[in-house]
Amino acid sequence: MTERSFANAFARLPADLPSGHLASAASCYSSDEHSDLPVFWCSDEPLKDAADWWRRLEAQRTETGLFPVLLAFYEDVWHPGEGPLDDSAFDVTDYFREEWERYLREKAEWDAAPPVEVPEDVMPWPDDPGPPFDVWPGLAAGSTPTCDVGEHAAAMVAELAQDGQPLHLALVPVERSADALLAISFRKSSNHVDLWELWAVIRSWEGRFGTRLIAVDGGTVHVSVAAPPRPEEANRLALEHYLLCPDNIEQDYIVFATYAERLVSAPRWSFWWD
């Protein structure tokens, strides 16, 4: 998106929004050296009825051109964004294949290392044989949505809001929900995956599994899933999840096979990086 189009992006901002502001790099850094071009609109305070606002603004999205996204820990989440890039220049298959090869190298090192004695008062890691593949199996085949993508996303937003986390409402002028990660310049995954890699993967899932980015909660990204994987694709999709975000399995005391089984009926995915 060009500076001119960003400048015009908020021309159709609804007039009856709760108290809020347009966020820019200059407002983030309080510096004249950064652009004052607005990147997104955000409510000034967390909203108790954030899910209701999300549903209402989602219904207006084709008119306004603004994607609603919920933000928790707002000040800690966003930094000046880059704006949408061209994901055609990025090959998701190549990314996952490279991550698979890195996983194999690290696994060989772990297997060769002497066993570590676990103290009696520490819960041991579950015995997990890991992904059931000897070679890179390719990307998981997509599924057909079982419901309306937008309606399902709204239902998942309502479910997420019930957790009681204070949630700000953001409106982002992007063409696809995953592009909002670039607008807020989400950096919490950078210890394992670069922002533009994460963005491209979630864009790929939008096409294959009907996902929608619905919320960013500190270091956690939440997406709704309108087209869960078929059972025969669950292991390949679980491998994609693991290569993108190992903490989903390694830090949750769950074995790979169980994680894969749960994906078949999971209406929402969450990813966090420690």
Return d(Cα 146, Cα 226) in angstroms, integer.
6
Q: Residue 113's pLDDT is what?
A: 79
Identify which of 213, 203, 192 has the alpha carbon closest to the alpha carbon of residue 268: 213
Q: What angle do CA 27, 55, 3 make, to 5 degrees?
A: 35
Instruction: Write out the two tokens for 183.
Output: 């607008």
* Residue type present at position 180: A
Q: Residue 50's pLDDT is what?
A: 95
Identify which of 164, 165, 104 has the alpha carbon closest to the alpha carbon of residue 131: 104
Mean pLDDT by 10 residues, the chain (274 residues): 60 92 68 69 93 96 94 65 58 95 90 76 65 96 95 96 89 92 75 84 96 91 97 98 92 89 97 84
Q: Residue 219's pLDDT is what?
A: 82
Q: Residue 98's pLDDT is what?
A: 96
pTM beyond 0.95: the answer is no
If residue 59 lies in a helix (H) or strand (E), which one and from where to where? helix 50-59
Return d(Cα 91, Cα 87) in angstroms, integer.
8
Return d(Cα 194, Cα 99) in angstroms, integer.
12
Q: Residue 182's pLDDT is what?
A: 84
Sign of CA dihedral 203, 160, 264, 253: positive
What's the distance, CA 158 to chain centroid? 17
200 with 228: CB under 8 angstroms?
no
Q: Residue 6's pLDDT is what?
A: 55
Q: Residue 115's pLDDT is what?
A: 76
Secondary structure (3-state) at 230: coil
Query: What is the four-CA torsion angle of 17, 18, 24, 30, rounded to 10 degrees?
Result: 160
10 Å CB burial of residue 151 (0-12, 13-18, 19+) is middle
CB count in 10 Å sphere of residue 96: 23
